[in-house]
């Protein structure tokens, strides 16, 4: 993936997303999801992410990153696309991070599935988040995105079974939802929420605020 010509502003917030060519799947199994998620951590560095493989580090989460390129506030992986809420560090570079992330995942994907060529639908998309209300909304939108896997029309029609939705989110490993609930896991290392407004000081407030953005209907 080529470097974008658009300049990103440090300490401003952006909603980053992209999907597979022709809406094709880019994550087929647990290994694919976890590889991409681990790359969110390992590629977020001025250092070359390949070092951890060359030095036979047991986990990409042990990679010594030094200067981070970005701060990640939230993310969610879907079968054919992904969402990342991000801000560029003072001396970082969103474009560089996304180039490293995309290149690393495509190399892994093409090798695993014995294919060549591009995987994503062109350059990643980036929306500048210039309003506090919109930024807060995106934490809800990104974290609830995976509900579409069990209820494809929930955004338009609301959710009739909120308990079922929460149970699903509690089991969905491929987003930062569990991190906001305070679940201890290695993926906690990916987020750096200090650089984002403290909208959710407790998990109770997080759940309340996230679900209030959408129209949930009771059975």
The tens digit of pLDDT for each residue in 126-143 reads 999 999 999 999 999 999
Radius of gyration of the chain (CA): 17
SS3 117: coil
Least confidently predicted of 85-94, 157-166, 205-214: 157-166
Of 195, 77, 86, 206, the C-alpha closest to 140 is 206
Note the pLDDT tens digit of each residue in 66-125. 889 999 999 999 999 999 999 999 888 999 999 999 999 999 999 999 999 999 998 999
Measured CA to CA, the distance from residue 199 to residue 39 in angstroms comes to 26
Predicted pLDDT of residue 25: 96
Burial class (CB within 10 angstroms; exposed 0-12, middle 13-18, buried 19+) of 137: middle
- Cβ neighbours of residue 212 closer than 8 Å, sequence gap 6 or more: 140
Structure tokens at 40: 């969110």
Phi, psi for 71 (deg, rounded to 5): -115, 130
* The pair of three-digit structure tokens given for residue 112, joined into one six-digit string: 């695993």
> Could you tell me if residue 66 is left (phi over 0), alpha (psi between -120 and 50 degrees) or otherwise beta?
left
Which domains does the chain show, CATH number per domain?
A: 13-212 (3.30.70.1290)
Question: What pLDDT digit, counting tens, does each position of 29-80 carry?
Answer: 999 999 999 999 999 998 776 655 545 566 888 877 888 999 999 999 999 9
Average pLDDT over residues 155-159: 73
How far CA 199 is from CA of 161, 176, 182, 208, in Å, comes to 26, 15, 15, 11
Q: How far is CA 154 from CA 10, 29, 69, 207, 216, in A?
A: 35, 24, 35, 17, 9
Query: pTM of the predicted model, to two decimals?
Result: 0.91
Please tell me whether residue 25 adopts helix, strand or coil conformation.
coil
Strands 81-88 and 70-78, how do they pair? antiparallel
Tokens representing 68 are 């981070």
Structure-token pair, residue 199: 């909208």
34, 136 Cβ separation under 8 angstroms: no
Residue 56 is predicted with a pLDDT of 58
């Amino acid at each position: 993936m080529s470097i974008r010509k658009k300049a990103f502003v440090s300490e401003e917030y952006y909603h980053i997303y992209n999907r597979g060519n022709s809406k094709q799947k880019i994550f087929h199994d647990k290994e694919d999801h976890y590889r991409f998620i681990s790359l969110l951590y390992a590629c977020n560095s001025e250092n070359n992410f390949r070092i951890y493989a060359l030095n036979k580090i047991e986990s990409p989460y042990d990679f010594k990153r030094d200067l981070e390129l970005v701060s990640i506030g939230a993310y969610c992986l879907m079968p054919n696309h992904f969402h990342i809420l991000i801000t560029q560090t003072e001396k970082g570079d969103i474009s560089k991070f996304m180039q490293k992330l995309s290149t690393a995942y495509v190399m892994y994907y093409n090798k695993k599935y014995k294919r060549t060529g591009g995987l994503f639908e062109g350059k990643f998309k980036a929306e500048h988040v210039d309003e506090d209300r919109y930024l807060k909304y995106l934490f809800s939108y990104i974290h609830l995105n995976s509900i579409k896997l069990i209820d494809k029309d929930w955004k338009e029609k609301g959710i009739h079974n909120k308990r079922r939705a929460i149970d699903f989110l509690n089991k969905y490993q491929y987003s930062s939802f569990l991190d906001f609930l305070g679940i201890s896991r290695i993926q906690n290392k990916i987020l750096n929420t200090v650089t984002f407004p403290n909208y959710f000081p407790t998990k109770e407030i997080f759940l309340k605020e996230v679900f209030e953005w959408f129209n949930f209907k009771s059975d």
